[in-house]
C-alpha cells in the first residue's frame, strides 16, 4: 500500500483537520463526535440539511457543506457508517427552527444509524433515501438500489430550495422527486485499497472490468474483459436510459463522475461518448458536470449519472452555491 498516511487509525482525524483548515472561511470541523458544519448560521430560519456516510468518497459529503447545499455532514470511518451521536450533535448544532432533513444513501448501516440518530432528537425531522444506482437491485450492503453519484444532485437542488425558506415537507418531497428521476451506473478497472486493510478490496485482472460496481467495491452486474470507451458507454447508457425512459426532446443533466483514480482526460472522453448517444436519441444535454465528486478512494473507473430536468430542477441546479467542492453564482 502506497498512501500518504502517518498512523492508519488517525487518518480520518488528520484529514478532517486539514480540510477544516483549508476551508476555514466557509466551514468548521468538529471532532468527537465528528461533523462538518457551515461556519456562519443562515440569516433566516431554514430547513437544515444534513448528510453523511463512510469516508473515502470525498468530496462527498463534507465538500458539499456550505451556502446552497448542506448545513452539515457526518463522516464515518472509511466505508463505515457514521454513528448516531454524530447526527444528533450535527442536528443540534445547525438547526434554525424549521426542522432537520437528512439525506442518506441507501446502505443498510447508513439507514440504521441515521434512523437511530433521528430518534435521539427533539427536533422535527424527515429523511430522503437516495437510491439512484440502476446496476443492481440488492447488493453487499444494501436492500434495494444503492445510493451513488446522484446523491450530490439531490443535495444541490434540495439545498437550493431550502435557502428559499421552503418547508420541511416541501424539501422532502422535492428531494424524493429528484431522486426518482435520476439514474446512475459505473464501471471499475481496478479495486480501491482501504487504508486499514492495506490491500485491494477485490482482485481483478489487468484486462478485466467490473460492470455496475458499487462505490465501496461491491460486485456489479458482471465481470468482463475491458472494451472500448464507446462500447462501455453504450452499455451504461442503455441501462440508465432503460430505467429513466426519457421522452423525446427531454432536457437532462449529464454528470460524469470519477472514482478517484481516473484522469479528467478520460472522464471528458466518457462525457463525449455519452452525449453522442443522447444526441442520437433526441435527448438534450442542457446541464453538465464532469469530475471526481463521489469517489471510491483510489479506484480507477467512473460512473454516468443522468437527471431528467424541468424548470424547477434547472432553477435550483443553477442557483448560487458556495462549498469546498462546488461553487458558482457567488
Reported in sequence order, the residue ranges of 44-150 that DSSP labels E, i.e. its strands, are 48-55, 66-67, 72-78, 100-105, 125-130
As a whole number of angstroms, the distance between CA 94 and CA 24 comes to 17
One of 57, 95, 125, 316 is an active-site residue; which one? 57
Cα-flanking dihedrals φ and ψ of residue 140, to 5°?
Answer: -55, -45
Helices and strands: H and E segment counts in the chain: 8, 15
216 among known catalytic residues: yes
57 among known catalytic residues: yes
For residue 311, give the nearest of 283, 287, 282 by alpha carbon. 287
What is the arrangement of strands in the sheet containing 125-130, beginning at the earlier edge strand?
A: 27-30, 35-38, 72-78, 48-55, 100-105, 125-130
Residues 188, 296, 111, 288, CA torsion sign: negative
One of 23, 95, 125, 216 is an active-site residue; which one? 216
As a whole number of angstroms, the distance between CA 63 and CA 55 comes to 11
Q: For residue 54, what are the β-bridge partners?
A: 76
Active site residues: 57, 216
Amino acid at each position: 500500500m502506497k498512501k500518504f498516511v502517518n498512523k492508519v487509525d488517525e487518518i480520518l482525524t488528520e484529514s478532517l483537520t486539514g480540510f477544516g483548515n483549508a476551508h476555514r472561511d466557509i466551514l468548521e470541523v468538529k471532532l468527537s463526535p465528528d461533523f462538518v458544519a457551515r461556519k456562519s448560521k443562515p440569516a433566516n430560519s431554514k430547513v437544515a440539511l444534513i448528510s453523511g456516510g463512510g469516508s473515502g468518497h470525498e468530496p462527498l459529503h463534507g465538500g458539499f457543506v456550505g451556502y446552497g447545499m448542506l448545513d452539515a455532514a457526518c463522516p464515518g470511518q472509511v466505508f463505515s457508517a457514521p454513528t448516531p451521536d454524530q447526527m444528533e450533535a450535527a442536528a443540534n448544532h445547525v438547526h434554525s427552527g424549521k426542522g432537520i432533513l437528512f439525506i442518506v444513501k441507501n446502505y443498510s448501516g447508513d439507514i440504521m444509524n441515521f434512523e437511530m440518530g433521528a430518534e435521539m432528537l427533539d427536533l422535527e425531522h424527515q429523511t430522503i433515501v437516495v437510491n439512484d444506482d440502476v446496476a443492481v437491485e440488492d447488493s453487499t450492503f444494501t436492500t434495494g438500489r444503492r445510493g451513488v453519484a446522484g446523491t450530490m444532485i439531490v443535495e444541490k437542488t434540495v439545498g437550493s430550495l431550502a435557502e428559499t425558506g421552503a418547508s420541511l415537507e416541501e424539501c422532502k418531497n422535492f428531494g424524493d422527486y429528484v431522486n426518482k428521476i435520476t439514474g446512475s451506473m459505473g464501471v471499475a478497472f481496478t479495486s480501491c485499497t482501504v487504508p486499514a486493510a492495506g490491500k485491494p478490496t477485490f482482485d481483478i485482472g489487468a484486462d478485466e472490468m467490473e460492470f455496475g460496481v458499487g462505490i465501496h467495491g461491491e460486485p456489479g452486474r458482471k465481470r468482463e474483459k475491458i472494451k472500448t470507451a464507446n462500447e462501455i458507454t453504450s452499455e451504461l447508457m442503455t441501462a440508465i436510459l432503460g430505467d429513466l425512459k426519457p421522452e423525446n426532446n427531454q432536457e437532462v443533466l449529464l454528470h460524469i463522475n470519477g472514482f478517484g483514480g481516473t484522469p479528467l482526460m478520460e472522464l471528458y472522453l466518457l462525457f463525449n461518448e455519452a452525449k453522442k448517444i443522447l444526441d442520437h436519441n433526441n435527448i438534450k444535454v442542457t446541464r453538465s458536470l464532469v469530475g471526481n465528486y463521489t469517489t471510491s478512494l483510489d479506484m480507477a473507473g467512473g460512473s454516468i449519472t443522468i437527471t431528467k430536468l424541468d424548470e424547477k430542477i434547472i432553477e435550483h441546479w443553477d442557483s448560487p452555491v458556495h462549498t469546498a467542492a462546488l461553487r458558482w453564482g457567488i
